Amino acid sequence: MIQVAAAVIIKDGQCLITRRAPGQNLAGLWEFPGGKLEPGETPEDCLKRELCEELSIKISVGRFIAESRFGYPSGSIHLLAYQATWESGKLQLSVHDDYAWVASNKLLEYSYPPADEPILQAIIQGGWLR
């Protein structure tokens, strides 16, 4: 099972989501930025590394929000979502083709990979965007 970490970055009551670029697995779907954990890496360190590499931003990682497990045809993942704070840097896309800041009442208007659905519900039901 592949271990994946996702950052739920909240600013002014909105959440940052990114869209997977054409040519990638699950292209065109929106997600919380993050990526696969490397051997021996913590989810928190993974998020700091991935967001620096993929979005050119530095974050601090806060509380654990939720997790999900999902089996895709390409393999199963264990997704761990954490609240994160954007500390510095200007967002620049490298592996995504778009991003959006989305209010809680608009989050479900976007299409996400199935593994992200429990995370979405936890964010909305837990009042993370208030």
The answer on whether 63 is annotated among ligand-binding residues is no
- 96 forms bridges with which residues in the sheet? 20
Residue 19 lies in a domain: yes
The answer on whether 20 is annotated among ligand-binding residues is yes
The answer on whether 70 is annotated among ligand-binding residues is no
Residue 7 lies in a domain: yes
pLDDT at 5 over 80: yes
Residue 27 lies in a domain: yes
* End-to-end CA separation in angstroms for the chain: 33
Residue 130 lies in a domain: no
The answer on whether 44 is annotated among ligand-binding residues is no
Query: How far out from the chain centre does Cα 44 lie?
Result: 12
The pLDDT of residue 102 is 95
Kindly report the number of other CB atoms within 10 A of residue 68's CB atom: 21
Q: Each residue of 26-66: pLDDT tens digit?
A: 899 999 999 999 999 999 999 999 999 999 999 999 999 99
The answer on whether 41 is annotated among ligand-binding residues is no
SS3 59: strand
Q: Each residue of 67-107: pLDDT tens digit?
A: 999 999 888 999 999 999 999 999 999 999 999 999 988 99
Q: Which two tokens stand for residue 16?
A: 């940052």
The answer on whether 34 is annotated among ligand-binding residues is yes
The pLDDT of residue 116 is 96
